[in-house]
Amino acid sequence: MTSQTVSGTAGLTEPAVKRRRRGGWHAYLFVAPSLFGVVAFLLLPMVIVLVLSLFDWELLSAPEFAGLDNYVRLAGDGEAWHSLGVTIAYVLLSIPLQTVLALALAMLLNQRVKGVRFYRSLFVVPWMATPIVLALIWNWIFDPRDGAINSALALVGVTGPDWLSDPTWALPAVALVSVWQYTGYNMLFFLAGLQGIPKELHDAAETDGATPAQRFWRVTLPLLNPTMFFVSVTNLIGAFQVFDTIYAMTAGGPSQTTEVINFRIYQTAFKEFDFGYAATLSTLLFLIIFLVTMAQVRFFGKRTTYDLS
């Protein structure tokens, strides 16, 4: 077997090892199990979703080709668009707040602070816990009668709302749990990013008479661009797919005010057995995540990334 693969892809070629290496079949053997996994459990499912979205299939009957019927139905499906709206509201309620808080915490920790490691570890604790267990815990915290929040409010004479059964408060409450869970986790990335900014740059800006605010907007933030890009992309991809906390905290209620798109997909497929249409909704979700990610690639790509190495 020849192994004269001449690769033109920059960044993927090894340091020029010119001599042929024997035993090329070993490599295929090494890659085979993972390759099978990727093809069978990631690529094939993507193809199935696309194909299935063109079929009418309720699992018990035979699938029937339906052309674009499901997409026409989607266009006029008020509930689907409602759940998309809920998802976007959830994203807007959670991501900006948790990103700003994470950056603020990181900037606090990036000063000469005693016990940095201690705080850093504590802030990551929420991220580690099982989302389903967290949902249960927060259900208890939001309990209208004996929960911690309303009990604390009662101390100052305020009657708290019914949080999770109140159409106004249910979605913000669920979004707050996400903020609680991921702020510390995101903080780790910002802290690592901040520590990579040479101190001389701040000193130079200070000598030039830049105010702390100017230093933040003109030095810190632009240099954090790669970190911001990473945090923003991963957070948004995760938030658009939120499921566990919704399932265990509100099950989409009250009156569908927390019914995010992924929960709607689950209901359509595994409660209503409308697999064809559920696949159409999945395709929509994929498209949205893809577009949002691409938009971020463009947005962050336009900004100059400074190479400090």
Partner 1 sequence: MAKRILLYAALAVGAFVSVFPYLLVVLTAFKTQAQLSQTAPWLPGLPPTADNLVEMLESDFPRFLLNTAVMTALLTVGQLVFTTFAAYAFARLRFRGRDLLFWLFVATMMVPSAVTMIPLFLIMRELGLINTWYGLLAPYVLGTPYGIFLMRQFFKTLPAGLEEAARIDGAGPLTILLRVMLPLCRPALGTLAIITVISSWNSFLWPLIITSGDDTKVITVAIATLKQGIGVDYNLMMAGSLIALVPMVAIFVFFQKHIVRSVVLTGLK
Q: Compute the least distance from the CB of residue 77 to partner 1, in Å.
A: 17
* List of residues 6+ apart from 205 with CB closer than 8 A: 214, 215, 218, 219
**Alpha-carbon torsion, ordered 187, 189, 194, 198, to 10 deg:** 160
The dihedral built from the CA positions of residue 59, 63, 64 and 67, taken in this order, carries a sign that is: positive
Which residues between 220 and 279 bind partner 1 (CB under 8 A)?
A: 230, 234, 237-238, 240-241, 243-244, 247-248, 262, 265-266, 269-270, 275, 278-279
| Interface of this chain with partner 1, residues 80 to 139, rule: CB under 8 A | 105, 108-109, 111, 113, 117, 119-134, 136-139
Kindly tell me which of 128 and 207 has the beta carbon lying closer to partner 1.
Answer: 128
* String of contacts with partner 1 for each residue 144-183, x by CB under 8 A: -xxxx--x----------------------------x---
Interaction of residue 283 with partner 1, rule CB under 8 A: yes
Closer to partner 1 by Cβ: residue 33 or 200: 33
| 5, two tokens | 């693969």
C-beta of 1: minimal distance to partner 1 in Å?
A: 8
State the residue for tokens 């690529």.
43
Distance CA 247, CA 135 (A): 9
Q: Which of residues 10-39 bind partner 1 (CB under 8 A)?
A: 12, 14-15, 17, 21, 23-24, 26-28, 30-31, 33-38
Tokens 């995540």 correspond to 289
Structure tokens at 118: 């201690």
- When binding is defined by CB under 8 A, the residue of 98, 99, 189, 220 that contacts partner 1 is 189
Tokens for 180? Answer: 């609680």
Burial code (b: 16+ CB inside 10 Å, e: under 16) for 51-89 equals ebbbbbbeeeeeeeebeebbeeebeebeebeebbebbbb
299 contributes a contact to partner 1 by CB under 8 A = no
Query: Which CB sits closer to partner 1, 156 or 200?
Result: 156
Q: How far is the CB of 52 from partner 1 (least distance, A)?
A: 7
Secondary element (H or E) of residue 65: strand 64-65
CB of 173 to partner 1, least distance (A): 13
Q: Shortest distance, CB of residue 27 to partner 1, whole angstroms?
A: 4
Coil, helix or strand at residue 56: strand
Helices 131-141, 148-155: inter-axial angle, 10-degree rounding: 30
Could you say which residues in the range 42-81 bind partner 1, by CB under 8 A?
42-46, 48-49, 52
Among 273, 290, 299, 306, binds partner 1 (CB under 8 A): 290
- Nearest Cα to 278, choosing from 45, 15, 31, 24? 45
Least CB distance from residue 125 to partner 1, whole Å? 5
Exactly one of 91, 175, 185, 259 binds partner 1 (CB under 8 A); that residue is 185
From the list 94, 141, 223, 229, which residue makes contact with partner 1 (rule: CB under 8 A)? 141
